[in-house]
């Protein structure tokens, strides 16, 4: 056998994500995640929930979200979707991580407008270690139904090298 035959296969974005982006006409480049990437370009996606329903929130990975301040700004008492529910939802499509793609869920989306100041963004693909580099313009087109917000008061900047670790309304669509 040759060395090439023994080399491990590089991970790729899950097919459901590639199909979704293809359907939306969004160009992307797969990028392997590493510490040298600018965390201001990395989109952090979280699903929050309250009595009204589920909400996807997108912000830069070099920031932390203050849920108490977000409650003051939105008038909603949001908490993280329980891990078991999130894993079940993602598991239906063989995703390990929540991609920061608002068109992936039927949930409303709130995003930090400062994300769009970057020339391109790095979005979790759903596969650990694989990011999708998407131009800000293309990413903006996916946000047509999302609400822009300057919820900077609910975000706290962190050091750039710091790593962070069955409701139909939240169902992932294909």
Q: Is residue 4 included in any domain, yes or no? A: no
Structure-token pair, residue 115: 């994300």
Q: Smallest Cα–Cα separation from 99: which of 9, 19, 25?
A: 19
What pLDDT, on a 0 to 100 scale, did the predictor assign at position 174? Answer: 41
Residues of the chain predicted below pLDDT 70: 1-8, 145-174
> CB of 120 within 8 A of CB of 113?
no
The three-class DSSP label of residue 141 is helix
What pLDDT, on a 0 to 100 scale, did the predictor assign at position 167? Answer: 40
- H-helix or E-strand spanning residue 18: helix 15-24
Q: Is residue 166 included in any domain, yes or no? A: no
Q: How many domains does the chain have?
A: 1
pTM of the model: 0.81
Kind of pairing, strands 120-124 and 130-135?
antiparallel
Q: Would you mind telling me the total number of residues written for the chain in this entry?
A: 174
Domain range for residue 94?
11-160
The C-alpha atoms of residue 38 and residue 114 are separated, in whole angstroms, by 14
What pLDDT, on a 0 to 100 scale, did the predictor assign at position 100? Answer: 92
Q: For residue 68, give the CATH number of its domain.
A: 3.90.960.10
* CA 101 to centroid of chain Cα atoms: 6
């Amino acid at each position: 056998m040759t060395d090439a035959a023994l080399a491990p296969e590089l991970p790729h974005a899950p097919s459901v994500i590639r199909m979704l982006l293809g359907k939306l006409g969004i160009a992307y480049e797969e990028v392997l995640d590493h510490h040298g990437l600018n965390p201001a370009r990395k989109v952090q996606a979280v699903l929050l929930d309250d009595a009204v329903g589920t909400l996807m929130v997108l912000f830069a990975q070099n920031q932390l979200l203050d849920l108490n301040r977000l409650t003051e700004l939105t008038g909603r008492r949001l908490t993280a979707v329980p891990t078991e529910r999130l894993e079940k939802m993602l598991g239906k499509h063989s995703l390990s991580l929540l991609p920061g793609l608002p068109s992936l869920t039927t949930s409303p989306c709130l995003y930090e407008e400062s994300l769009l100041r970057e020339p391109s963004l790095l979005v979790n693909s759903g596969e650990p270690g694989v990011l999708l580099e998407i131009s800000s313009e293309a990413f903006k087109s996916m946000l047509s139904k999302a609400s822009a917000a300057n919820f900077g008061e609910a975000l706290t900047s962190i050091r750039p090298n710091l790593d962070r670790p069955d409701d139909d309304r939240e169902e992932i669509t294909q």
